[in-house]
Amino acid sequence: MKIGIDSIAFSTSRYFLSLETLAKHRNVNYEKYNVGIGQAKMSVFPPNEDIVTIAIDAAQKVISQMDDKNDIDILIFATESAFDLSKSAGIYVHHFLKLKEDCRVFDLKQACYSAVAALQLAKSYIVDNPNSKVLIIGSDIIKYSPNTSGEPTQGGAAVAFIVTQNPRILEIEPYAGIHTVDVMDFWRPSHLDEALFDGKLSAYNYLKSLDICVDRYWKKSNLAISAIDHVCFHAPFGKMAQKANNKLFRCPSINETLIYNSVIGNSCSASLFICFISLLDNVKDDISHKRIGFFSYGSGSVAEFFSGIIPENYGQTLDTRNNLKMLSDRIEIAISEYELLYNNKFHDGYHYENVGNITMLGINNNQRIYRRLQNN
């Protein structure tokens, strides 16, 4: 049975900060950001957007390609930006998507790895329930303290994809190399809004885990390195993925995988799959029947390397034009506004637009209040 990704889409904020603007404000050479870490812009989120609102927008795009959304039996929400230690963020998404009540909904957490964990869980479920479909969402918004090395890697986005049999986008292969080890390279205690990290340790463990995972993948699959045609990496920043590619694969299409991440910033659980969408949208050649390698790294840490085959006619499901339009239509903000939004404050007299048709109104009595916009 062929199982994998049948449709895939992403969403991010309507607002961005140019890293050239940030570099000037921080008195840093822009090349340190653009060349040194491979980033040009970062998505910035107003108070009316959060991981739920952008998740719903991404999910609506993939559901619109389905014949019947009642085929969805499970919704898995992968995130490290959860705002509730009990209630799943996926419950809000389930409500606004108007999915059936006979549907499992839960969150998964393990830094940036959790969406891959969700994919592998979904694959196993489809084996036993071949007529079912699983909706997976990876949604994160990440902040680092101002004037830190992490600041220019901030960003956020949501990716949504449907896992089913006979997929139209990617057929997941049955082997994977996995590596789990306890490392304090990135963490966010429940009382903090911003993540803590050891950048050098994280980069070291990322590359070490890549070596181990790929070696285990080769032993399980009995494939040669030449069997991998393209590779997508988790991209906390573009330079990290480029280093990983140069270390083992040297795939020339690495730049195509990073086009979207370079103007969004780190989207954590969504990052790897946005690299995949970027490859699908921007690679010049037809990649039908090509094998794509995927490396996921979640600090703390869990890493996995797996692969999939692109089916014939995959291009019929792509939404390249709208993806490019979503990014090109974004609104650039000034550094003063970035600093206000960093502190989650509305700018007096300014109306912030939502990327989709759900807005977050605020928090009342410790409850998050969402509303569907009337003009959508």
pLDDT category of residue 197 using cuts at 50, 70 and 90:
confident
pLDDT category of residue 90 using cuts at 50, 70 and 90:
very high
Active site residues: 80, 112, 234
pLDDT category of residue 350 using cuts at 50, 70 and 90:
low
pLDDT of 318? 95
pLDDT category of residue 346 using cuts at 50, 70 and 90:
low
Please say whether the dihedral angle defined by the alpha carbons of residues 190, 193, 195 and 196, taken in this order, is positive or negative.
negative
pLDDT of 291? 98
81 has a pLDDT exceeding 70: yes
Of 17, 45, 139, 52, whose CA–CA distance to 353 is shortest?
45
pLDDT of 138? 98
Residues 61-75 have a mean pLDDT of: 96
Written in H, E and C, the secondary structure of 264-329 is HCCCHHHHHHHHHHHHHHHCCCCCCCCEEEEEEEECCCEEEEEEEECCCCHHHHCCHHHHHHHHHC
Residues 100-129 have a mean pLDDT of: 97
Strand order in the sheet with 41-44: 41-44, 15-18, 331-332
CATH of domain 3-372: 3.40.47.10
pLDDT category of residue 375 using cuts at 50, 70 and 90:
low
Is the separation of the CB atoms in 6 and 310 below 8 Å? no
Residues 144-169: tens digit of each pLDDT: 889 898 999 999 999 999 999 999 99
Between residues 134 and 195, which one has the greater pLDDT? Answer: 134
pLDDT of 230? 97
Residues 179-196: tens digit of each pLDDT: 999 999 998 888 887 788
Residues 223-260: tens digit of each pLDDT: 988 899 999 999 999 999 999 999 999 999 999 999 99
DSSP 110: B
pLDDT category of residue 351 using cuts at 50, 70 and 90:
confident
C-alpha 273/C-alpha 21 separation (Å) is: 28
